[in-house]
């Protein structure tokens, strides 16, 4: 399977389909970018996900809530292809992740999926701008072009002045802003964010959340946010609650 060529073809078809609709006349018909069907995952003998069903459309913002330790981060990791589902089907941007190798899943994430993990998960000995540029560089962009794109996103998340600061020297909130910029620099079709505002004060968290929600509204980017924050969940189009490894009925929040 030639994942690089196939993924590029999928990117072009997906973006065109989202803009024009199936008839080519700008029809605003929802397109599923993420489907989980009967998904299960367990750590040794401890079930984390039990028959999870989830459907996310392009441009939709979905908040995943639930008590600590209920499996929210596991759900995000499985949906993004970081962890392979042990049972069930995960379709991401039309690809059945269970049929892809780890390298192929990584290639898909690098091009069309943005991921914001808790605590940023930056490369400590790289500068902020290099961390943001990393997925572009891995995808073959010229270094100068990649760094310019990365610098622009650092400006958008309000941390452009720290572009040359090593990630190890950034505060928790600054690291989280860099992680969001890195997730968005590739102009993904879907973003997975695990507690993206957890390290920020209220004003900074609201600003970053508005950026994510704005990308969904203006660019048709789907956003799946794991959060404990009721204010964050309230900005989503829909909230799903994870309890005992299962998702409850979806609730519209706005």
* pLDDT at res. 237: 92
Total structural domains within the chain:
1
Q: Is-contact 57 31, C-beta < 8 A?
A: yes
Backbone angles phi and psi of 135, in degrees to 5: -65, -30
Domain span including residue 175: 3-252
Alpha-carbon span 127 to 112, nearest angstrom? 23
Q: Is-contact 224 190, C-beta < 8 A?
A: yes
* pLDDT at res. 210: 84
* pLDDT at res. 26: 42
Alpha-carbon span 157 to 8, nearest angstrom? 28
Distances (CA, A) of 73 to 21, 78, 107, 194: 33, 9, 21, 7
Q: Is-contact 84 100, C-beta < 8 A?
A: no
Q: Is-contact 96 35, C-beta < 8 A?
A: no
Helices (H) and strands (E) in the chain, counts: 8, 11
pLDDT by position in tens, the chain (length 254): 334 444 444 444 444 343 333 334 344 455 889 999 999 999 988 899 999 999 999 999 999 999 888 889 999 999 999 999 999 999 999 999 989 999 999 999 988 999 998 766 899 999 999 999 999 999 999 999 999 999 999 999 889 999 999 999 998 888 988 999 999 999 999 999 998 887 777 887 888 888 888 877 777 899 999 998 888 899 899 999 999 889 886 565 65
* pLDDT at res. 39: 96
- pTM of the entire predicted model: 0.83
CA-closest candidate to residue 131, choices 115, 110, 147, 142: 147
* pLDDT at res. 23: 36
Whichever domain contains 40, its CATH number is 3.40.50.300
Alpha-carbon span 191 to 20, nearest angstrom? 22
* pLDDT at res. 211: 81
Helices marked H in 84-188 — which ranges? 102-112, 128-138, 143-156, 172-184
Alpha-carbon span 121 to 15, nearest angstrom? 29
């Amino acid at each position: 399977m030639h994942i690089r060529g196939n993924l590029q073809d999928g990117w072009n078809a997906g973006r065109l389909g989202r803009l024009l609709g199936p008839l080519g006349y700008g029809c605003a018909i929802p397109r599923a970018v993420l489907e989980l069907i009967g998904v299960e995952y367990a750590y040794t003998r401890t079930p984390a996900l039990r028959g999870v069903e989830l459907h996310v459309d392009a441009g939709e913002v979905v908040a995943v809530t639930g008590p600590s330790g209920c499996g929210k981060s596991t759900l995000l990791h499985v949906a993004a292809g970081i962890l392979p589902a042990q049972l069930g089907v995960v379709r991401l941007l039309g690809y059945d992740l269970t049929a892809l190798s780890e390298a192929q899943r990584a290639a898909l994430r690098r091009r069309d999926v943005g991921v914001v993990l808790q605590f940023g998960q930056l490369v400590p000995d790289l500068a902020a701008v290099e961390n943001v540029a990393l997925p572009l560089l891995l995808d073959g962009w010229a270094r100068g072009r990649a760094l310019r794109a990365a610098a622009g996103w650092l400006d958008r998340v309000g941390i452009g002045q720290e572009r040359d600061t090593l990630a190890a020297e950034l505060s928790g909130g600054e690291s989280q802003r860099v992680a969001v910029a890195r997730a968005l620099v590739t102009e993904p079709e879907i973003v997975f964010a695990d507690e993206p505002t957890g390290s920020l004060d209220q004003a900074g968290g609201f600003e970053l959340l508005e950026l994510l929600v704005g990308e969904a509204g203006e660019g048709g980017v789907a956003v799946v946010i794991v959060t404990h924050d009721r204010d964050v969940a309230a900005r989503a189009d829909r909230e799903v609650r994870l309890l005992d490894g299962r998702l409850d009925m979806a609730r519209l929040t706005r």
